[in-house]
Amino acid sequence: MEERVRKIEEEVKAFLVASKEDLENFRLKFISKKGAVSSLFDDLRQASVEEKKKIGKVLNELKQLAEDKFKHLQEKLDSSPDAAGGQIDLSLPVVPNKVGNLHPLNLTRYRIIEIFERLGFNVSDGPEVEDDWHNFTALNFAENHPAREMQDTFFVEKNPDVLLRTHTSNVQVRLMKNQKPPIRSIMPGRVYRNEAISARAHCFFHQVEGLYVDKKVGFSDLKQTLYHFAKEMFGQETKIRLRPSFFPFTEPSAEIDISCLICHGKGCNVCKYSGWVEIAGSGMVHPHVLKNGGIDPEEFTGFAFGMGIERITMLRYSINDLRLFSENDLRFLRQFKSVI
C-alpha cells in the first residue's frame, strides 16, 4: 500500500495546472470525496494496526500536500489578469508610444519663419535644379566668376547650363518677376556646392534667403531687421556686427556676425577666439538685379540676406559637427524635442 501512496504523491507533485479547468480536474482527481486520496483512506481501514500507524502518517502528509497545492494554485489563478475575465485595468499607467520628433534643422527653419512672419515676411519657394540665369547671370555674376566653375558648382547639363542651385538667391529674381513691390519674403531651402565633406562643410546644406523691396528701403532697415532677428533667435543680450563684404548682387554688402554664444565674447574655438560668429551674408539689392527682376531701381530699393540654417542650428544647440545632420543617427536626432 505504501507504494501506492508514493505513486499518488508523485502524481500530485507532477500535475500541471494552467487554468481554472485544470485546477478543477486536480481537485476531482485528488481531493474530492471520490478522489485518489479519499480512496486511499478507505483502503487504510482494512490494513493492520501496525500498517495503519505507519501509512496513516504518510497519508495525512499526502492529503496536506494536495490541499496546499490546490490552495496555492487557486490564489495564483484568482490574482492573474485572466481571472478578471480578460478585462484591462484602465487605472494602470500607459506604455508610451514612441512618436517621432522634428529634425533639428526643421525646428530652426520653423523658428526663423516664425520670427520673420511677425515682421510681415511671407514664405516663398524656388527650384533646386536651376538655370544659369536665375542662379548667376540675373544676379550680376561676371561671365567668369569663380562660383561658376565646375569645382564649385554641380552642373546637371552644360550649354545651356542647368545646375543645382548654389544658394537660395536664385528665388530673388523669380519673386521680383512675379510680384509687384512691396515684396517682403523669406525663402528657405536646400542648396548644393561641390565641397569636400567635413565637420564644417558639406556638399548640400540649407539657407534662408530674405528679400525686402519697396520705396525707400534703406541700409538701416536691413540692420534693424537682422538685429531683431538675432535677439529673437539667440536671446536679447545678443549683439550683431556688420563687416564690409562683396557679393555681385548686393551693393553695399556686409557679412553679419553675432556675438559668440559659447564664450560671450571672451574667445573660444567656436568663434576662433574672435568673440564673433558669422551667420549671414547681406546687402542692398544691386540696381542691375532689380532691373533683371523688372523693377525700376530709380523708384524702388531693397535689401537681401542669406543665412545658413545649419550654422544657426549648431549655435543654437551647441552642435560641433555638420555631418550629424545627415547621418540619420536616431541617438542624435531623438535629443531634439519638438520645442520650436
User: Quick check: 69 binds ligand PHE (CB under 6 A)?
Assistant: no
Cβ-closest residue to ligand PHE?
Answer: 306
Considering only residues 185, 282, 292, 313, which one is a binding residue for ligand PHE as defined by CB under 6 A?
282
| Residue 306 sits in the site that holds ligand PHE (CB under 6 A) | yes
For residue 247, state whether it binds ligand PHE (rule: CB under 6 A): yes
Which one of 2-10, 18-26, 152-160, 304-312 is the stretch in contact with ligand PHE (CB under 6 A)?
304-312
Give yes or no for residue 167 binding ligand PHE (CB under 6 A): yes
| Burial of residue 71, with CB atoms counted within 10 A of its CB: 0-12 exposed, 13-18 middle, 19 or more buried | exposed
**Nearer to ligand PHE by C-beta: 126 or 281?**
281
**Residue 227, exposed/middle/buried by CB under 10 A (0-12, 13-18, 19+)?**
middle
| Closest among 281, 286, 314, 319 to 302, alpha carbons compared | 286
Q: How far is the CB of 176 from ligand PHE (least distance, A)?
A: 13
Q: Enumerate long-range contacts of 309-313, CB under 8 Å, 24 or more apart.
A: 309/105, 309/108, 309/109, 309/112, 309/188, 309/205, 309/206, 309/207, 309/208, 310/105, 310/202, 310/205, 310/206, 311/277, 311/278, 311/279, 312/108, 312/112, 312/233, 312/279, 313/104, 313/105, 313/107, 313/108
- CB of 139: closest distance to ligand PHE in angstroms? 8
Contact region with ligand PHE (CB under 6 A), list: 37-45, 89-97, 280-288, 331-339: 280-288
CB of 336 to ligand PHE, least distance (A): 25
Is position 169 an interface residue for ligand PHE (rule: CB under 6 A)? yes
Nearer to ligand PHE, 246 or 273 (CB): 246
Smallest distance from the beta carbon of 179 to ligand PHE, in angstroms? 18
Which has the closest alpha carbon to 168: 185, 156, 182? Answer: 185
Nearest to 133 by CA among 164, 168, 173: 173
Tell me: does residue 313 bind ligand PHE (CB under 6 A): no
Query: Is 63 or 167 the residue whose CB approaches ligand PHE more closely?
Result: 167
Instruction: Count how many residues are written for the chain.
Output: 340
> What 3-state DSSP class applies to 122?
strand
- C-alpha cell of residue 238: 545678443
Residue for grid cell 561641390: 194
- Identify the residue among 104, 188, 283, 293 touching ligand PHE (CB under 6 A): 283
Nearer to ligand PHE, 17 or 187 (CB): 187
CB of 255 to ligand PHE, least distance (A): 9
Stretch that binds ligand PHE, among 73-81, 97-105, 175-183, 299-307 (CB under 6 A): 299-307
- C-alpha 133/C-alpha 127 separation (Å) is 13
Number of residues that bind ligand PHE (CB under 6 A): 11
Among 276, 305, 325, 336, binds ligand PHE (CB under 6 A): 305
292 contacts ligand PHE (rule: CB under 6 A) = no
Pair 119, 241: CB distance under 8 Å: no
Rounded Cα distance between 318 and 314, Å, is 5
Residue 250 in the binding site for ligand PHE (CB under 6 A): yes
Binding site for ligand PHE (CB under 6 A): 167, 169, 209, 247, 250, 281-283, 304-306
